[in-house]
């Protein structure tokens, strides 16, 4: 490599073009809420690796546990024997799962793989083929999970045919209903969504052919929209009436992100299958599903597995992660910092300034926070599709993200509805979050000035 070709240029030349990338920074070191690049630039990270390093980059206890395991055993193939590290993890994990019936676990590597594991289990347990997903959902980019993802078309575009037997229904998010606004009563959105589900079961996939309904209890890439408890209870009732399994994909909203270890805890709704990944091992590749032993035992031995499934180093990291949540009172910090950021964003929205007037909605739970802009292209009275599409190219959120990057802060936009998502580490301090809010305000004001 020529000395003139820096690391980023080398990566851009030799790494697959299909990977979208926020910046051309080369991340060299991470500590807590900050990342340092190979050029020495220190970045305030409000992405936490898209909700992965919930305890911050290189949490000392997690890193130490992984390092210790590396010197003991790095690979324990689950189809050959039991892994001591995996069993140690399960003793910590099972007691914190959101319902006592979730007593049996299968571990894999990534969120998409875990979603596929959930689909396999649902089909094996019910002997039915079809899956219902939510409009706006994100479940992954593999062939199967791209067919289930409805947040954007990019993940499946040009890659068909994708997995069949997938049908979409409505999620109670105002932007997905013509005429609805942030002020539309929650009850109305819930009722419309449950009605759409009933129609889906009458018009598209019969209950006798439907194995499961899967949803993110908080829409992730679809816009950071929490499912109202009434909606989750409505789903549970419909599933029970028709022998359909309810799958909660908590890959992003789980592991303390919303202020509880699992978002479904707020409603008390019992999922038949829980999907987890991202924050479970604070950066080490680990995912899985939890269900009842009765359901799991319906799968034949040999039908599940994987070369690296439940890797012992990742399991050791996950065990340390769970202990750190408990020992360091992480959820208490989430509650305090959540109050801080929501107060700041809502005050900005109500400020009457040009920047504040761009904000249409502030929502979320814990430190999974979405901010939606008043994009003219998405107003209910848009003139015509051509003009609308032209305006969508000029969304506000990506411009704010770019201004944040200029100010050495990482922030992400999301969805087709002009939304920013705030996903700081769950250990972020009051001072660090204050600095992040200050940078965000400066970035938004810079964008507003040019609109």
The 10s digit of each residue's pLDDT in 60-105 is 999 999 999 999 999 999 999 999 999 999 999 999 999 999 999 9
Q: Is the pLDDT of residue 174 over 90?
A: yes
Omega of the bond prior to 161 within 30 degrees of 0, cis? yes
Q: In the chain, count H helices and then E strands.
A: 14, 17
Whose CA is closest to 219, among 363, 91, 84? 363
Q: Are 22 and 412 in contact (CB under 8 A)?
A: yes
Tokens of 271: 């999922």
Mean pLDDT over residues 2-12, rounded?
76
d(CA 444, CA 317): 37
Give pLDDT tens digits for 132-145: 999 999 999 999 99
**What value does the CA radius of gyration of the chain take, rounded to a whole number of Å?**
22
- CA-based max dimension of the chain: 66
pLDDT at 123: 98
Tokens of 315: 């399991």
Three-class SS state of 23: coil
Task: Just give the CATH number of 7-55+329-449.
Answer: 3.90.1150.10
Mean pLDDT over residues 197-210, rounded?
98
Tokens of 403: 């201004």
> What mean pLDDT, rounded, does the chain reach?
94
Q: Is the pLDDT of residue 27 over 50?
A: yes
pLDDT at 377: 62
Position 383 confidence tier, pLDDT thresholds 50, 70, 90? very low
pLDDT at 378: 60
d(CA 78, CA 308): 8
d(CA 225, CA 227): 6
pLDDT at 194: 98
* Domain regions of the chain by residue span: 7-55+329-449, 61-327
For residue 361, the number of C-alpha atoms closer than 13 Å in the C-beta half-sphere is 22
Q: How many residues does the chain have?
A: 451
Q: Is the pLDDT of residue 337 over 60?
A: yes
d(CA 286, CA 109): 4
pTM here? Answer: 0.95
Whose CA is closest to 126, among 253, 259, 294? 294
Give pLDDT tens digits for 36-70: 999 999 999 999 999 999 999 999 999 999 999 99
Q: Strands (DSSP E) along 109-265, which ranges? A: 130-134, 166-169, 210-215, 218-219, 225-226, 245-249
Residue 365: exposure state from Cβ atoms within 10 A (0-12, 13-18, ≥19): buried
pLDDT at 318: 98
Three-class SS state of 60: helix
Position 1 confidence tier, pLDDT thresholds 50, 70, 90? very low
Tokens of 260: 């509880």
CATH topology of domain 61-327: 3.40.640
Q: How many CB atoms lie within 10 A of CB 190?
A: 19
């Amino acid at each position: 490599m020529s000395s003139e070709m820096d690391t980023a240029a080398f990566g851009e030349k030799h790494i697959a073009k299909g990977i979208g990338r926020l910046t051309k920074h080369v991340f060299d070191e991470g500590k807590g809420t900050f990342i340092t690049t190979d050029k020495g630039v220190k970045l305030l990270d409000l992405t936490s690796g898209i909700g992965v390093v919930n305890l911050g980059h290189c949490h000392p206890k997690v890193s130490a546990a992984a390092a210790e395991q590396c010197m003991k055993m790095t690979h324990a193939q689950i189809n050959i024997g039991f892994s001591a590290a995996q069993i140690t993890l399960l003793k910590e994990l099972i007691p914190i799962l959101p319902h006592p019936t979730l007593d049996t676990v299968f571990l894999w590597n990534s969120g998409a793989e875990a979603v596929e594991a959930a689909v396999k289990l649902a089909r094996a347990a019910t002997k039915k083929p079809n899956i219902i997903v939510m409009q706006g959902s994100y479940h992954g980019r593999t062939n199967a999970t791209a067919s289930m993802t409805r947040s954007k078309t990019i993940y499946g575009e040009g890659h068909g045919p994708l997995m069949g037997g997938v049908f979409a229904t409505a999620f109670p998010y105002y932007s997905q209903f013509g005429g609805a606004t942030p002020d539309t009563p929650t009850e109305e959105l819930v009722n419309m969504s449950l009605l759409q589900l009933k129609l889906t079961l009458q018009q598209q996939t019969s209950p006798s052919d439907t194995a499961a309904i899967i949803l993110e209890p908080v829409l992730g890439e679809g816009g950071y929209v929490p499912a109202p408890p009434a909606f989750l209870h409505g789903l549970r009732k419909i599933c029970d009436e028709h022998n359909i399994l309810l799958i909660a994909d908590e890959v992003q909203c789980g592991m303390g992100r919303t202020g509880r270890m699992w978002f479904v805890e707020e409603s008390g709704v019992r999922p038949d299958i829980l999907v987890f990944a991202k924050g479970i091992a604070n950066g080490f590749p680990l995912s899985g599903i939890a269900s009842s032993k009765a359901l799991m035992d319906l799968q034949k031995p040999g039908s599940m597995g994987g070369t690296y499934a439940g890797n012992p180093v990742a399991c050791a990291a996950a065990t340390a992660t769970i202990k750190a949540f408990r020992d360091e009172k992480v959820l208490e910090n989430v509650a305090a910092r959540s109050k801080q950021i929501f107060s700041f964003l809502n005050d900005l929205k109500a400020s009457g300034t040009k920047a504040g007037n761009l904000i249409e909605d502030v929502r979320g739970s814990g430190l999974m926070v979405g901010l939606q802009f008043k994009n003219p292209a998405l107003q209910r009275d848009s003139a015509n599709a051509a003009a609308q599409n032209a305006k969508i190219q000029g969304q506000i959120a990506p411009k704010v993200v770019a201004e944040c990057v200029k100010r050495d802060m990482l922030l992400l936009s999301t969805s087709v509805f002009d939304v920013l998502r705030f996903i700081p580490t769950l250990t972020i301090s009051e001072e660090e979050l204050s600095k992040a809010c200050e940078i965000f305000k400066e970035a938004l004001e810079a964008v507003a000035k040019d609109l």
